[in-house]
A and B are shown apart, each in its own frame.
Chain A
Amino acid sequence: MTSTASRLETLKKQLRPRLEDFRHTVYLWKKTPLAMIGSILILFFLLVAIFAPLIAPYDAFSQNLYNKLQPPSWQHFFGTDQLGRDVFSRVVYGARIEVWIIFLVSSISIAIGLLMGIVAGYFGRFVDETLMRITDMFMAFPRLVLAMAITAAMGPTLTNTIIAIALVDWTVYARLSRADTIKVKTQPYIEAIRALGATSPRIMLSHVLPMSISPVIVQLTLRMGTIILTAAGLGFLGLGAPPPTPEWGAIVADGRSHIFEQWWISTFPGLAIAVVVLGFNFLGDGVRDILDPKIRR
């Protein structure tokens, strides 16, 4: 009994600095109003995505031509589009599409980026030079243009959109993780592990990767807004998710030709994009302030 208590005591002692650091972070987070507003907006966005079927009063796809182009009212908060679909329900279901896009694009681009960056940084020399020039090649395109060309060639589907954005986005993570790998690999403990006989893949996977992942994660939170904007841009141009997918950019495009008379079709989904991206940017800005050692005190 006492031993458990004393163990708990030592554990507490060990954890105290971390706990205090965490508390300090929470304190800074509370002191950074932008970060707080951002977190609330994103939480709201995630809740809408999760509970979409409960929130949306209508089906996102069912058409009702007798009811088309209705202005916003208590029946249809955001009005209806040219096919009589409820814009509010489409926007609500669209949140799910956006979450899906963010999730997949992040996972794929981080996987590619970490692989390229760690391998380049770890082996150095020729491997590094080759992989970094490949990275440069992908960075030589304006982001949207490359993503557009890839989706257009592969055919505009949701999956291809996600692949295209990921293929454009990985370069940032590659550069970041390369820089960290170069720093980590000269540490004595890596040499010690190698002396013990660990193979290169093992060192990279279990010793370099954990050390270089945190700046990548921070960068990821900063880039989520951009991912949505890119996806929406593709959707708007008709090079993203095909109709009738309620992707927000695509809904804005649906209303484009009606913008002067039936402004609501484009306005509300665009507002949804702006609010969510704003949330991510507020949070990102705040995170940057909180993590910046110069400002942190």
Chain B
Amino acid sequence: MKLAFYILRRLFLMLIVMLGVATIVFFITHVIPADPVGAILGGNAPLETVDKLRHQLGLDQSLHVQYFRYLGGIFHGDFGVSIVSNHKVVDDILEFFPATVELACAAMCFTVLFGVFLGTVSAIKRNRPIDHILRVFSILGVSMPGFWLGLLLLLLFYFKLGWLPGTGRNDLFAFVDNITGLVLVDSIITRNWAGLWDAVKHIILPAFVLGYASAASVARIMRASMLDVLRQDYIRTARSKGLGRRVVIFRHALKNAMIPAVTVIGISFGDLLSGAVLTETIFSWPGLGRYIVQSLLVLDYPAITGATLFVAFIFSMANLVVDISYAALDPRMRL
């Protein structure tokens, strides 16, 4: 009952926050730019074209009319038409989102595997050389700019060694029928094994670059919480009962130590779902992040508005889910 109330309260707060988010985005796209039309068309466009575009974007109206129209549009799921692609922004987003989902899931596999493993080993071998090496390895993950690491990996594995394909999601010759929008899933459904292999080879590098960075923060939390758990009385009890180290660590300690790590994993999943802007740009991955960058660079305002709002929504939803599951696990959090 209390949990249901907590969830309702959070959902209500989220509604308010999303309204604020919409207002911030309105500010960024409608109030700050002095002359969006001029920026889109350049200085020498004929007056007629300028007026037409101004009208098309609704910029000839007063600011508060623009604001309410904009809010009304959002409630109908209508962000307008992209200036560049001439498609509805909603359709564009739905087209690019699956690629982002796929990449995020693949990256999460790396994150969970590496993060939990590295953190646990570090904690068990605390202050031994292996702990130091693993800590340096994981701090490296949060220190290297992902876009730079991505470039270097492309240089090595694509150009020098030729082991992996370059950018993009799949090669043209390995065509996979589009059913769910997720190439990996589609190729399995259609039993297109060549297509699957090709897609896997394409996703490895970007997923690694993304996963490495978040694995580092998972490993850090995992190490700290594992150290904490290993100090607890029930671990000592388990050991004194004569249980082996391995059993104690895997059956008793790991589960409890995972709780804080799950939070970090959840939050970084939200981060990844909302578009891995830099990684998608480097690997020409046709996802939301790259869509946002491209819209920003050409100042495609309807696209910027729609994509930014969508991304903020996904990001907040992910955080909300993390908070709720945390509250379900730990009643003290429901304050």
Contact flags (1/0) for A263-288 with B, using CB distance below 8 Å?
Answer: 10011001101100110011001000
Q: Check A141–B18 contact: CB distance below 8 A.
A: no
Q: Which residue of A lies closest to B142 (CB)?
A: A281
- Among A51-59, A61-69, A120-128, A232-240, which stretch is in contact with chain B? A232-240
How distant is B313 from chain A, measured CB to nearest CB, in Å? 8
Within 8 A of A (CB), among B296-324: 296-297, 299, 304, 308, 311-312, 315-316
Q: With A141-B21, A149-B296, A239-B296 given, can you name 10 additional A-B contacts, CB distance below 8 Å?
A: A136-B13, A149-B29, A152-B299, A153-B28, A238-B297, A259-B151, A259-B155, A267-B152, A270-B145, A273-B144
> How far, in angstroms, from A249 to B146 measured CA to CA in the complex?
11
Contact flags (1/0) for B274-297 with A, using CB distance below 8 Å?
Answer: 110110010000000000110011
A46: Cβ under 8 A from any B Cβ: no
List 25 interface pairs A-B (beta carbons < 8 Å), by A numbering: A133-B13, A136-B13, A140-B18, A140-B20, A140-B312, A141-B24, A141-B311, A145-B277, A148-B293, A152-B297, A152-B304, A153-B28, A229-B145, A233-B147, A233-B277, A238-B297, A239-B296, A249-B145, A259-B159, A266-B148, A270-B144, A273-B148, A277-B144, A281-B142, A282-B139
| CB contact between A137 and one of B17, B139, B292, B304 (< 8 Å): that residue | B17
B47: Cβ under 8 A from any A Cβ: no
Q: Check B275–A153 contact: CB distance below 8 A.
A: no
How distant is A277 from chain B, measured CB to nearest CB, in Å? 4
Range, interface on chain B: 35 or more
List A contacts of B86 (CB < 8 A).
none
B16: Cβ under 8 A from any A Cβ: yes
How distant is B204 from chain A, measured CB to nearest CB, in Å? 19
Q: Is the interface of B mostly helix, strand, loop or mixed?
A: helix
A211: Cβ under 8 A from any B Cβ: no
Q: Which residues of A contact B (CB under 8 A)?
A: 33-34, 133-134, 136-138, 140-142, 144-146, 148-150, 152-154, 225, 229, 232-233, 236-239, 249, 252, 256, 259-260, 263, 266-267, 270-271, 273-274, 277-278, 281-282, 285
Q: Check B155–A263 contact: CB distance below 8 A.
A: yes
Q: Check B304–A133 contact: CB distance below 8 A.
A: no
Q: Check A142–B311 contact: CB distance below 8 A.
A: yes
List A contacts of B139 (CB < 8 A).
34, 278, 281-282, 285
Contact flags (1/0) for B187-214 with A, using CB distance below 8 Å?
Answer: 0000000000000000000000000000
> How far, in angstroms, from A220 to B277 measured CA to CA in the complex?
25
Q: Check A152–B312 contact: CB distance below 8 A.
A: no
- The listed residue with most A CB atoms (<10 A of its CB), out of B33, B277, B316, is B277
Q: Check A152–B296 contact: CB distance below 8 A.
A: yes
B271: Cβ under 8 A from any A Cβ: yes
Q: Is the interface of A mostly helix, strand, loop or mixed?
A: helix
How distant is A248 from chain B, measured CB to nearest CB, in Å? 9
Within 8 A of A (CB), among B72-115: none
B25: Cβ under 8 A from any A Cβ: yes
Q: Check B148–A274 contact: CB distance below 8 A.
A: yes
How distant is B172 from chain A, measured CB to nearest CB, in Å? 21
> How far, in angstroms, from A167 to B57 measured CA to CA in the complex?
27
> How far, in angstroms, from A274 to B140 measured CA to CA in the complex?
8
Q: Check A266–B277 contact: CB distance below 8 A.
A: no
How distant is B132 from chain A, measured CB to nearest CB, in Å? 8
> How far, in angstroms, from A237 to B304 measured CA to CA in the complex?
15
> How far, in angstroms, from A148 to B294 measured CA to CA in the complex?
11
Contact flags (1/0) for B10-27 with A, using CB distance below 8 Å?
Answer: 000100111011011100
